[in-house]
Copies of this chain bind each other. A is one copy, B any other.
Amino acid sequence: MRMAGLSRATGVPVPTIKFYLREGLLPAGERTSPNQSQYDDQHVHRLGLIRGLTEIGGLSLAMVSEILGAIDDPNLQLHEVFGIVQRSVTRQITEQHTAGEDLRFDLVDAVMREQGWQHAHNAEHRLAAATLLSIMERLRLNHTLASLKVYANAAQAIAEVDMAGLMQHESRDEMIESVATATVLGDALVSTFRRMAQTAMSLEAASKPTPTGQVS
C-alpha cells in the first residue's frame, strides 16, 4: 500500500507517519518510484506499536525510540530488554528524586525481602520505589504505606502471568516485542480495572448512610 493507504489502515495521519519515518521510528518503505514507496503489514504493525506505547502508555518518543531500538537489536538478551522497557516508569519517578532527601529505602527493602525480590537489586527500581514512598508519606497516604504488602502481592501475581505469557512466544522477536507491549499496556489495564473496582465499591459506600456526616 502507499502512504495514504497506510494512514487509512492505521488511523495515523500522513504527517505523523512522515515524522516517524524521519525520526527512524518507522522503517522506510520499499521505493517504487522517486516519489513513492510501498508499505506493508509490518508497517501497520509497527505503527500500532508506536501508538500503543505513546498514546496509551504515555511514553515520550525518545523512550519509544529506545524501546524500538531494543526490539530491533538481535544481540540483546531478554533481561536487558526488560531493563530498558522497565525504565519507562521508574525513570519518570527517579527524576523527581532530590539529592540529600531522606528516602524510605527501609520500606522498600522490607517489601523486597518479604517478596523474595532482594536478589534482583536493581538500583534504579529501588530508588524509584523509595522516592515514590517518600512522596506518599509527604502527602500523608499513611494507609497506602501500611498496605504495601497488598500492592506487592498484586504486582507479583500480575508479573507471574506476564512471565508465563512471555515464555509462550515461539520466536525471540515476538517475545521481545511483547515484553514492551505487555509491560506498558498492562499498567494501563491494572489502572483501568482498579478504577472499575473502586467505582463499584464507592457506589456501594454511597448507597449506605455515611458515618456522622463526614462525607456530605
Contacts and interface: CB of A to CB of B under 8 A. Distances in A.
Interface of A: 11, 45, 48-49, 51-52, 55-56, 58, 74-75, 77-79, 82-83, 86, 89-90, 92-93, 95-96, 98, 111-112, 115-117, 119-120, 122, 125-126, 128-129, 132-133, 135-136, 138-144, 146-148, 150-168, 170-172, 174-175, 177-178, 181-183, 185-203, 205-206, 214-216
B117 A197 contact: yes
Stoichiometry, as copies per complex, reads: 2
A72 B212 CA distance: 21
A38 to B, nearest CB: 22
A158 B165 contact: no
A213 B115 CA distance: 30
20 contacts: A55-B92, A79-B203, A89-B192, A89-B195, A90-B192, A115-B197, A117-B196, A129-B196, A133-B189, A136-B185, A141-B181, A142-B165, A151-B158, A151-B186, A159-B197, A159-B201, A163-B205, A167-B205, A175-B215, A183-B195
A75 B216 CA distance: 8
A98 B178 CA distance: 23
